[in-house]
Amino acid sequence: MNSSDNKKHWENVYETKNPDQVSWTQKKPQTSLDFINSFGLGKEAKVIDIGGGDSNLVDFLLEEGYENITVLDISVKALEKAQQRLGSKADKVNWIATDITAFEPTETYDIWHDRAAFHFLTTPEQVSKYIDIAEKNITTFMVLGTFSKNGPAKCSGLDIQQYDEESLSEKFKEDFEMIQCITEDHTTPFETTQNFIFCSFKKH
Ligand SMILES: C[S@@+](CC[C@H](N)C(=O)[O-])C[C@H]1O[C@@H](n2cnc3c(N)ncnc32)[C@H](O)[C@@H]1O
């Protein structure tokens, strides 16, 4: 799928579905918060959530006192929904609507978080663009959450790439050292289970 069709897909998802109607919704993204806090950087660390959609992660990061948060997503509608939910607190966040593979950052990020966006990149070209952007623009830490080899083959009707510890480590080995990986079962709003792998990395 090209970038414009991909954007249309996601705009349509966020125009037509509420959080309780999509599989990835989490009330509290505890694993993501635990990884981000485990890095031990101060609250002034620059944190970016890649493919953040209308995830509640930004709400909890704000609540915990993080001061430099950016949320990036291909869908404008997703970001608008998050902004509406946050009300005036949305002004404290940088919002970037772009395809991650076309992202041209104007600053670097100390913590790069991605839950269930990287795995939608299924061509070698898309994956290498993502890795290149991550390598150039992350100062210190990254945490990636994708469907595991025991997880679903699709998400939101789209093909995804499943990963395990070895394949994630291999993809980023040039500039990142893997710190820790865990797998976890995510319970969807429909009471089904999806197996994720989360890995954290430190820049060399
Ligand atoms: C499965 S949802 C996960 C949302 C959020 N990270 C969470 O955990 O709740 C995938 C998100 O990635 C976004 N996305 C998909 N492809 C993207 C791309 N190429 N660039 C930026 N965002 C993308 C979608 O709009 C959607 O918000």
Checking if the pLDDT of 12 tops 90, the result is: yes
Residue with the smallest CA separation from ligand 1 atom 3 is 116
Pocket-forming residues, ligand 1, beta carbon under 6 Å: 6, 10, 24, 51-53, 55, 73-75, 78, 99-101, 115-117, 120, 155-156
CA 106: distance to chain centroid? 19
**Which whole-number Å values give the CA distances from 140 to 13, 37, 93, 131, 176, in the listed order?**
33, 13, 20, 14, 9
Distance 182 CA to ligand 1 centre (A): 21
- Superfamily for 3-9+27-203? Vaccinia Virus protein VP39 (3.40.50.150)
Average of pLDDT values for 67-94? 98
Residue 163: predicted pLDDT:
98
Q: What is the pLDDT of residue 157?
A: 95
| Residue boundaries of the structural domains of the chain | 3-9+27-203
* Closest protein CA for atom 27 of ligand 1: 53
Q: In a 3-state reduction of DSSP, which class is residue 35?
A: helix
**Residues in the chain, total:** 204
User: What is the pLDDT at residue 1?
Assistant: 84
Q: Please compute the mean of the pLDDT values over residues 98-118 and round it to a whole number.
A: 98
Q: What is the whole-number distance in angstroms between the Cα of residue 45 and the centre of ligand 1?
A: 22
pLDDT tens per residue, range 155-173: 999 999 999 999 999 999 9
Q: What is the DSSP letter of 188?
A: P
Ligand 1: distance of its center to the CA of 52 in Å? Answer: 6
Averaged over 60-88, what is the pLDDT?
Answer: 98
Atom of ligand 1 nearest to the CA of 78: 27
**Burial class of residue 35, CB neighbours in 10 A (0-12, 13-18, 19+):** buried
- The protein residue with its alpha carbon nearest to ligand 1, atom 2, reads 116
Per DSSP, what are the bridge partners of residue 154? 159
